[in-house]
Amino acid sequence: MYGDGRQSDYERTPERADEIVDDPFLDVPRLGQDIRLVLACVGGGAIQIGREVARHHLRHVETVAINCDSSVQDREEFDRRICLGSGRSELSDIGGSPSHGAQIARAALPALERLFEGSTFVTVIGSLGGGAGTGVLPYVLDAAARSSQVLSVFVVKPFQCEGDRRAVADRALARLHFIESYVEKQERGSASLQVLDNEQVRASEPTLPFRQLNARWGETVARHIEEAFLVPTETLLEAHRAQLAPPDGLAPPRPPTPDPGPSGPIPLAPLTPQMTWEAPPAGGPLGDAELTFEIDGRPDGPRL
């Protein structure tokens, strides 16, 4: 208390805190906090695509780069950069061996599970054919499937001319169907898989420069995250705010949303999450309303 009898800000804090707690808009989930979106890129090729996704400046999305090469630490476009193994290039380099990559990922599985803990929407990009993307990807999918509510997976297949790498990619794709947690999520309709086949692009667009291929896949992934996750979720949250608005219908002002940038003509896979807003009963208290996500009409809560 000041000498003239006035209360200090510290002494008035509890009183102001009560007012904040009573604010009904605090019940609205927050994107990036209560609703967590993660983009994980596994392997060198996937990280290159993730860098292109980062150019779209997707709001509220955490980006993670995962590789067995210590040079991943230099990828400043990502929020988190994870080098599996010792971190020293002469020991962490797996020499393109999927089995070596799988051994390292198996040992790091507890850390991978913590990475996705509490996540709502997870998008994983894996580049098949090499050591890290092929060997580490199954363990990343297992960890993501156990913790997330909705999981989207994009895998990149090499060109036909790459021979053995494409054959390795085909075998890796077949093994994804044996990841129990991931398959279970697919059967519930809360996981999807899309193959980004370089050979198909070469055949359908022979004039597309090779250097633009990663940008093409990056735009595909960015549009999926925007249209499948961000836009529907923001629409639901806006409906929630409208339910909590004062009688005159004037809701508190919201900060402007950054422009996600132009979208190209690349078609998207079907949207994975089917989300609905459950309005409170007529005449009931608005404070009891809850935001729920439903997959095919069935509630799908977080599995921690």
The DSSP result for 245-300, as a single string, is S-TT--PPP-PPPPP-----SPPPPPP--EEEE-PPPTTS-GGG--EEEEETTEE-
User: Hey, what are 129's tokens?
Assistant: 């054919």
Residue 303, pLDDT above cutoff 90 = no
Residue 295, pLDDT above cutoff 70 = no
Mean pLDDT of the chain: 77
Q: Which CATH class is domain 37-231?
A: alpha beta
31-71 tens-digit pLDDT: 888 899 999 999 999 999 999 999 999 999 999 999 988 88
The predicted structure's pLDDT at residue 152: 97
The predicted structure's pLDDT at residue 70: 84
The predicted structure's pLDDT at residue 68: 87
81-117 tens-digit pLDDT: 999 865 444 434 555 678 888 888 898 999 999 999 9
Residue 19, pLDDT above cutoff 60 = no
**What's 2's DSSP letter?**
-
Residue 218, pLDDT above cutoff 90 = yes
pTM (whole model) above 0.75: no
With b for 16 or more beta-carbon neighbours within 10 A and e for fewer, the 59-71 pattern comes to ebbbbbbbbbbbe
> How does residue 255 score in pLDDT terms, banded at 50, 70 and 90?
low
> How does residue 285 score in pLDDT terms, banded at 50, 70 and 90?
very low
Per DSSP, the three-state class of 157 is strand
Residue 155, pLDDT above cutoff 90 = yes
Q: How many CB atoms lie within 10 A of CB 234?
A: 15
The predicted structure's pLDDT at residue 199: 93
Residue 29's nearest CA partner among 238, 303, 175 is 238
Say which range, 199-213, 234-248, 263-277, has the weakest mean pLDDT: 263-277
- Distance of alpha carbon 124 from alpha carbon 304, whole angstroms: 19
